[in-house]
Homo-oligomer: A and B are copies of this chain.
Amino acid sequence: MPVTPNHLASRRQFVRQASLTAAVAAMAGPAAALPLAAASATTKDETQRKLGFAIVGLGKFATQQMMPAFKDCKHAKITALVSGSPDKAKQLAAEYGVDPKSVYSYDNFDSIKDNPAVDVVYIVLPPSLHMEYTVRAAKAGKHVLSEKPMATSVADCQKMIDACNKAGKKLMVAYRAQFEPFNLDAIARIKKGELGKLRQITADHGRIVKPTEEKAEAWRVVKKTAGGGSLMDIGIYSLNAARYLTGEEPVEVTAQEYTDKSDPRFKEVEDVIHFTLRFPSGVLASCTSAYSIQEVKRYRVFGDKAYLDLDPATDYYKHNMTIGTKEGEMKASLKEGNQFAAELDHMAECVLENKTPKTPGEEGLKDVRIIMAIYEAARTGKKVKV
């Protein structure tokens, strides 16, 4: 069911190339911005053409964070919705100008293959479903953006990678923090050597998971659906940050877990889990994750010259960076940006320019593999090699 007209590929390609070059040039600074002139020959209407995204799963995060972000996207727009709630989907379709014919249920999802308005399938379902919908999307000839954690097992991650490779489609994992300006600035400062030689990182992520009675949150505390507890859902931010901040892969991990099994929320999944990662350079990262504490989303990176504190570090907005040196602490002034839009645009750009995403399936698999090592370390009380 084709619902929007297809564009001439050659023309489209030219426009894309020009506008993307301009966008990349703008990021690189004034000196590199000259190619902008090349884009001026195209009309405003043409430069506004965008790739079509199907949103699979219309939960709180999708509807309150991701879908509103599309308005700030240069290369991405919502062209389809997939939901088990027809009424909700219908209402959102009207709100976002999505053709009612491009609203799918989980049953007829596979027919999305016949919808040329959909280039990318964005999976915002509970983790246990990521593999199935990635495989189905790839079979339907669509590129895939999957929420994190990528899947509930390393094997499922691999199946997702294989399916997209086989279909010749892009696969990206939605690590929004890797598109967030404060985090990117932190990485840049570390790379520039502003902190000196890195010594240690601390990273803490916590939130209160509501009682299981609240249906919308229920999947988080079901092992089969979530794959695990706080570590899978939010501790992964501590883990992923330790990796992108060091630019290294951990080699060893120790861990301890504390879960009150008498709490109805934690019959199946872990609550508090603390883990320490060792990186090849020697840097240690001590990370915490909990499902029963007031919200915390912070990290501090300690070099031998200075430290960089981001608190909150991985929130949606309102990030706060402090640099500590021997002269004392100072706040870094940096403009907030829409990490969701940047993430969606990056996915679109990778499709348009046939590039490997910054956070491909392999990135998601690495985290899931380390998460499994953390669980093993917590279970055995022994240091586990990754």
- Shortest CB-to-CB span from A31 to chain B, Å, is 34
- Shortest CB-to-CB span from A326 to chain B, Å, is 6
Q: Is the CB of A278 within 8 A of B293?
A: no
Residue-wise interface mask of A (181-213) relative to B, using a CB-CB cutoff of 8 A (1 in contact, 0 not): 000000000000000000110101010100000
Tell me the complex Cα distance, A166–B159, Å. 71
Q: Across the interface, which residues of B come within 8 angstroms of A286, CB to CB?
A: 202, 274, 276, 286, 288
Q: Is the CB of B256 within 8 A of A252?
A: yes
A381 to chain B: closest residue by CB:
B383
Q: Across the interface, which residues of B come within 8 angstroms of A383, CB to CB?
A: 254, 256, 381-382
Q: Is the CB of B278 within 8 A of A276?
A: no
Q: Across the interface, which residues of B come within 8 angstroms of A14, CB to CB?
A: none
Is the C-beta of A304 less than 8 angstroms from some C-beta in chain B? Answer: yes
Contact of A200 among B252, B255, B260, B274 (CB under 8 A): B274
Is the C-beta of A290 less than 8 angstroms from some C-beta in chain B? Answer: yes
Q: Across the interface, which residues of B come within 8 angstroms of A282, CB to CB?
A: 258-260, 272
Q: Across the interface, which residues of B come within 8 angstroms of A307, CB to CB?
A: 293-294, 296
Q: Is the CB of B272 within 8 A of A294?
A: no
Is the C-beta of A115 less than 8 angstroms from some C-beta in chain B? Answer: no
Is the C-beta of A284 less than 8 angstroms from some C-beta in chain B? Answer: yes
- Shortest CB-to-CB span from A190 to chain B, Å, is 14
Q: Across the interface, which residues of B come within 8 angstroms of A267, CB to CB?
A: none
Tell me the complex Cα distance, A382–B306, Å. 32
Tell me the complex Cα distance, A295–B305, Å. 10
Residues A258 and B326 in contact in the complex (CB < 8 Å), given A288-B286, A293-B307, A302-B293: no
Task: Tell me which residues from 259 to 295 in chain A have a Cβ below 8 Å from any Cβ of chain B.
Answer: 259-260, 271-272, 274, 276, 278, 282-284, 286, 288, 290, 292-295
Is the C-beta of A303 less than 8 angstroms from some C-beta in chain B? Answer: yes
Q: Across the interface, which residues of B come within 8 angstroms of A325, CB to CB?
A: 294
Q: Is the CB of B381 within 8 A of A254?
A: yes
Q: Across the interface, which residues of B come within 8 angstroms of A278, CB to CB?
A: 256, 258
**Nearest 3 A/B pairs, CB to CB:** A381-B383, A293-B302, A258-B282
Q: Across the interface, which residues of B come within 8 angstroms of A199, CB to CB?
A: 258, 271-272, 290, 292-293
Is the C-beta of A100 less than 8 angstroms from some C-beta in chain B? Answer: no
Is the C-beta of A116 less than 8 angstroms from some C-beta in chain B? Answer: no
Pairs across A and B, CB under 8 Å, 30 listed = A199-B293, A200-B206, A200-B288, A200-B290, A202-B286, A204-B300, A206-B302, A252-B256, A252-B381, A254-B383, A256-B284, A259-B282, A272-B282, A272-B284, A274-B276, A274-B284, A274-B286, A276-B276, A276-B286, A286-B286, A286-B288, A294-B302, A294-B307, A294-B324, A294-B326, A295-B324, A296-B300, A296-B302, A296-B307, A382-B383
Q: Is the CB of B276 within 8 A of A200?
A: no
- Shortest CB-to-CB span from A320 to chain B, Å, is 11
- Shortest CB-to-CB span from A151 to chain B, Å, is 27
Q: Across the interface, which residues of B come within 8 angstroms of A288, CB to CB?
A: 200, 202, 284, 286
Q: Across the interface, which residues of B come within 8 angstroms of A302, CB to CB?
A: 206, 290, 293-294, 296
- Shortest CB-to-CB span from A271 to chain B, Å, is 7
Task: Tell me which residues from 140 to 173 in chain A have a Cβ below 8 Å from any Cβ of chain B.
Answer: none
- Shortest CB-to-CB span from A54 to chain B, Å, is 35
- Shortest CB-to-CB span from A310 to chain B, Å, is 15
- Shortest CB-to-CB span from A195 to chain B, Å, is 9
- Shortest CB-to-CB span from A266 to chain B, Å, is 11
Q: Is the CB of A293 within 8 A of B200?
A: yes
